[in-house]
Amino acid sequence: MRHNPRIPSGAVETMWDRCRFEMKLVNPANKRKYSVIVVGSGLAGGAGAATMGELGYNVKCFCYQDSARRAHSIAAQGGINAAKNYQNDGDSVWRLFYDTVKGGDFRAREANVYRLAQLSLNIIDQCVAQGVPFAREYGGMLANRSFGGAQVSRTFYARGQTGQQLLLGAYQALMRQVDAGRVKMFPRAEMLDLIVIDGKARGIVTRDMVSGRIESHLADAVVLGTGGYGNVFYLSTNAKGCNATAIWRAYKRGADFANPCFTQIHPTCIPVSGEYQSKLTLMSESLRNDGRIWVPVAKGDKRPASQIPEQERDYFLERRYPSFGNLAPRDVSSRAAKMVCDEGRGVGHTGLGVYLDFADAFQRLGRATMDERYGNLFEMYEQITGEDPHSVPMRIFPASHYTMGGLWVDYRLMSTIPGLFVIGEANFSDHGANRLGASALMQGLADGYFIIPYTLGDYLASNKFEKVSTDHPACKEAEDNVNGITRRLLGVNGRHTVDHFHRELGKIMWEYCGMARNAAGLQKALARIPELRDEFWRDVRVLGENEELNQSLEKAGRVADFLELGELLCLDALERDESCGGHFREEHQTADGEAIRNDERFCHVTAWEHRGPGVKPVQHREPLEFHYVLPSVRSYK
Amino acid sequence: MRIVLHIWRQKNGRSSGKMVRYELPDINSHMSFLEMLDVLNERLIEKGEDPVAFDHDCREGICGMCGFVINGTAHGPVRGTTVCQLHMRHFQDGEELYLEPWRAKAFPVIKDLMVDRGAFDRIIAAGGYVSVSTGSAPDGNAIPIPKDNAELSMDAAACIACGACVAACPNASAALFTAAKISHLALLPQGEPERHQRSLRMVAQANTEGFGACSNVGECEAVCPKKITLENIARMFRDYIGASWTRRPAGASRG
Ligand SMILES: Cc1cc2nc3c(=O)[nH]c(=O)nc-3n(C[C@H](O)[C@H](O)[C@H](O)COP(=O)(O)OP(=O)(O)OC[C@H]3O[C@@H](n4cnc5c(N)ncnc54)[C@H](O)[C@@H]3O)c2cc1C
Ligand code: FES
């Protein structure tokens, strides 16, 4: 069976223990005889590479930045969830499990989510031991805050720089292994193809981004922790370099792509200010703990916020979702903001924005407390917009932020290519159709520190590996493939820059496959994207050569892949004829605009199998079963 | 607004470079500095000229990837701000700006405004961590940490390793960077066991990399986008001297 999820038998609480017990172990003395490639040094890849180094494997770790410490995980602001129940507010592993399954709108595997909730406890302990300076109470105990989609306070944080501090913890653990000689780090190296030998993933082809050298690296297994594909929308909260190239090229080698249409639009980002805009900046969701979201009651009310009296303001989240209020989940909040802007009540010069107002909180808590909580976010907002959120409310608007979809993996995080494991945001596994805030960091670290080191060991112990060298025809073939793409890109010498095409793709994706989607729009996108792709290959201009540092060439390869992935995303969105989580099909909504799921037809994971260029990919389904958290209408009212 | 740029152009680490003048007549004051360079690059490509290479990634002031010198100041004129967070509203119409890469022996230029900061990784590898393997951690609340210590530690841990401190220092010293990591860990109970060894090894590694010595000029603090303070350097030296007295210096040569 191509998509056997390999879920352990028994009660959900015991599955991971049983799985660990049943897995084969590699004798400690033999570990150094095995080699592992880890692509990515973010929370997932960095944690995985460090831990496998500690265990004694020979690890090679790759990233495209100049240092492992700069992976995009660094930008996460708000926090990381864990079911510690330190606040004694009724939290438990079970509740985190429940919230995550429900938050994902019943499109994730229960078994995976339960394991994630269990491991959340170990993550915090591990990070504290590494010296992550989490926020503390006066008594010296760890502090918590709440995040969207939960009614307990279970989010751990380090000011507005939680991702940075967690990543530095993983990075330092990784550098300790570099020091010990067990991990070799390859910065400024981009993976451009996967090497598959006798049906097993055995290596990667990389380009040295300084010299342009194309090289094959071989190992006994390959792990991808290369992050999400949110930049398919061009404007997103992701770093400029975030890309889908590693997972896309693995897809073309046989790793099926699951649920590409499950993308997350984050409700609180700084609105677009002009055509030159190169990226969007997130304002952490944690701000919604103390900020209130509103727009004027009247359409086209252009008065400054301070002149709009209380009774002429519509606190639309508090009004529509009284029990969660400003902390309603991301998909729900984003759509609500879109709806009021569509009605002509948006704020700012573009009309695409809503207020996030801290006036009440400043009064209640005082400026010092507020600055301690959010100081760096206020500063960042002021740097970008030139407005001071201490005196005027912030303006925010939804933006592409996270991708729940990714390469299909089984319970052990292995893709449809044996020996290719996928961790972190790059896989599709735990968040279903919508991710709750502060859960991506948790998943990345669970995958990296606590899952992959075991499951990869089992794979190594259960298989025999022929000795292979880089003379193998499969390496040559993959290198030729990479060189061919490069030659083509450099050979077009057309009229438009790579960014031009990326921006165009982004507009199509945002318009037809963004916060709300419908069949007619998706069909338009599906007609338009292949045309744009043809234009790209006919008319793109990439100057210079391969044998030098060439940032246009790097971008061109990534955009070429986005131009293909965008099409699969729209196809998946068209086929999933229901609304669930971040995937909102306008055809399926209640009279007041709430999503309508269709469990009868769509209670499954869609996994797409690549069948060659120009051929429609094959659609597979992995049915989802719910034994513990029974599907219900997801209400935050 | 009109902006005139003089940018250091250097093809690669082996060639020599020179300043080249570019003029941008129509810059929007809401753009970020890097967005202005994006506009320049789009135009250069359209004219068939090699675009300007500069490092960047998050564009949120947190990854530490970006950084160059603007009119003699690392990261430009606004304090506590990386170039990616710097906006054109801080400049005047018609202003002439000189952009150069970080200049330090330990940071060789790769191309144009990009340098190799691999030396920073090697300093961290020389002990900038707590030696705790996955799986062996006690409960997160087992050791209470006074809030003030956690906050001070966080102040130091906020370093983004951009390299501005080195670029601003007349000695090209990496003292602020090294001290930030030493302080971050020294202020926490988890960092205590390896405190001495860590300071000896990291300082030795910085010397090996060719960074200069600290002579208390303070330029580093002035340009640091994360406002890391000189106090950390004092703490590093205290640890280093203490370690040199109480430990055999053998540890230092391991770097
Ligand atoms: C602005 C922002 C704020 C966020 N805030 C939160 C939050 O508060 N809480 C939360 O839980 N989540 C948050 N998230 C989500 C979370 O940060 C990410 O999902 C998570 O960090 C992803 O980690 P990762 O290890 O999977 O990938 P990344 O950290 O993106 O790492 C990817 C790695 O892969 C490497 N790579 C990629 N492609 C290639 C290639 N082709 N070749 C070689 N190397 C490659 C990169 O160099 C990098 O090292 C936030 C996300 C954003 C964008
Ligand atoms: S680009 Fe990340 S700090 Fe400037």
Of A450, A451, A457, nearest in space to A122 by CA: A450
Is residue A85 within 8 Å of residue A92, measured between CB atoms?
Answer: yes
Chain A residues closer than 8 Å to B110 by CB: 210, 549
Whether the CB of B184 is below 8 Å from some CB of chain A: the reply is: yes
Of B41, B63, B154, the CB nearest to A239: B63
Average pLDDT over residues A475-484: 98
User: Which pLDDT does position A28 carry in this prediction?
Assistant: 92
Sorting pLDDT into bands at 50, 70 and 90, what band is A634? Answer: confident
- pLDDT for the residue numbered A147: 81
A363-379 pLDDT per residue, tens: 999 999 999 888 888 98
Distance to chain B for A241, nearest Cα, Å:
6
User: Predicted confidence band at A311 (pLDDT cuts at 50, 70, 90)?
Assistant: very high
Q: Scanning every residue of chain A, which has its alpha carbon at the shortest distance from the alpha carbon of B36? A: A276
Structure tokens at A181: 């000689």
Q: Class for domain A266-399, per CATH?
A: alpha beta
Closest ligand 2 atom to the C-alpha of B225? 3
Q: How far apart are CA A69 and CA A131, in angstroms?
A: 16
Has residue A380 got a pLDDT over 50?
A: yes
ipTM value of the model? Answer: 0.96
CATH architecture, domain A473-603: Up-down Bundle (1.20)
Task: Tell me how far the alpha carbon of residue A435 is from its chain's centroid.
Answer: 9
Q: How confident is the model at residue A276, as a pLDDT?
A: 92
- Each domain of chain A, given as residue ranges in start order, spans 266-399, 473-603
pLDDT (tens digit per residue) in A399-447: 999 999 999 999 999 999 999 999 999 999 899 999 999 999 999 999 9
Residue with the smallest CA separation from ligand 1 atom 13 is: A76
What is the model's pTM? 0.97
The partner residue sitting opposite A72, judged by closest CB among B58, B147, B150, is B58
Mean pLDDT value across residues A556-569: 98
Give the pLDDT score at B247: 64
Which region among A110-119, A284-293, A384-393, B101-110 has the lowest average model confidence (pLDDT)?
Answer: A284-293
Cross-chain residue pair A499–B146, CB shorter than 8 Å:
no
Fold match flag (A266-399 vs A473-603): no
How do strand A257-258 and strand A221-224 relate by DSSP bridges?
unpaired
Q: What is the CA radius of gyration of chain B?
A: 20
Q: Are A236 and A399 in contact (CB under 8 A)?
A: yes
Structural domain boundaries in chain B = 3-110, 117-246
Q: Burial, A243: exposed, middle or buried (Cβ in 10 Å; 0-12, 13-18, 19+)?
A: buried
Q: CB-based contacts of A573: which residues, under 8 Å, 6+ apart?
A: A261, A513, A517, A522, A583, A585
The closest-lying atom of ligand 2 relative to the alpha carbon of residue B62 is 3
HEC secondary structure over A314-345: ECHHHHHCCCCHHHCCHHHHHHHHHHHHHCCC
Greatest Cα pair distance in chain B: 64
Of A74, A127, A276, the CB nearest to B63: A74
Of the candidates A139, A276, A383, the beta carbon closest to that of B144 is on A139
Same fold flag, B3-110 and B117-246:
no
**CA distance to partner chain B, nearest, from residue A594 (Å):** 34
Report the sign of the C-alpha dihedral through residues A208, A209, A211, A213, in that order.
positive
**For residue B186, what is the nearest residue in chain A, using CA coordinates?**
A131
**Is the pLDDT at A594 greater than 90, yes or no?**
no
What does R_g of chain A's alpha carbons equal in angstroms? 24
User: What pLDDT, on the 0 to 100 scale, is given for residue A203?
Assistant: 98
Q: How far apart, in whole angstroms, are the C-alpha atoms of residue A360 and residue A458? A: 55
Instruction: Return the percentage of chain A with pLDDT > 70, whole number.
Output: 100
Mark which residues 280-339 of A lie under 8 Å from B by CB: 281-282
At residue B252, the pLDDT reads 44
* pLDDT value for B253: 42
Q: Which chain A residue has its CA at the smallest distance from B54's CA?
A: A551
Joined together, the tokens standing for residue B154 give: 């966080």
Give the gap in angstroms from C-alpha B167 to the nearest C-alpha of chain A.
17
Going residue by residue through chain B, which has 255 residues, state the pLDDT in tens, using 9 for 90 and above: 999 999 999 999 999 999 999 999 999 999 999 999 999 999 999 999 999 999 999 999 999 999 999 999 999 999 999 999 999 999 999 999 999 999 999 999 999 999 999 999 999 999 999 999 999 999 999 999 999 999 999 999 999 999 999 999 999 999 999 999 999 999 999 999 999 999 999 999 999 999 999 999 999 999 999 999 999 999 999 999 999 887 654 444 443
Look at the domain B117-246 and name its fold. Fumarate Reductase Iron-sulfur Protein; Chain B, domain 2 (1.10.1060)
Summary mean pLDDT of chain A: 96
| Cα(A46)–Cα(A37) distance, integer angstroms | 12
pLDDT digits (tens, 9 = 90+) for A506-543: 999 999 999 999 999 999 999 999 999 999 999 999 99
Six token digits for residue B7: 């940018």
* pLDDT in the model for residue A637: 80
Question: Which residue ranges have their beta carbon within 6 Å of ligand 2?
Answer: B 56-59, 61-66, 82, 84
As a whole number of angstroms, the distance between CA B27 and CA B4 comes to: 10
Interface of B with A in 21-80 (CB under 8 A): 28, 30-32, 34-35, 38-39, 41-42, 45-46, 48-51, 53, 55-65, 78, 80
Contact across the interface for A384 and B32, Cβ inside 8 Å? yes
Active site residues of A: 330
CA of A226 to the centre of ligand 1 (A): 7
Q: Which residues neighbour A311 within 8 Å (Cβ) at sequence distance 6 or greater?
A: A297
Q: Is the dihedral of CA B11, B12, B18, B20 positive or negative?
A: positive
pLDDT at residue A284, rounded to an integer: 85
CATH 3.10.20.30 is right for the domain spanning B3-110: yes
Q: Which residues of B touch A159 (CB under 8 A)?
A: 154
Minimum-distance ligand 2 atom for the alpha carbon of B66: 4
What pLDDT is recorded for position B255? 38
- What secondary structure does DSSP assign to A479-529, as a single string? HHHHHHHHHHHHHH--SB-HHHHHHHHHHHHHHHHSSSB-HHHHHHHHHHH
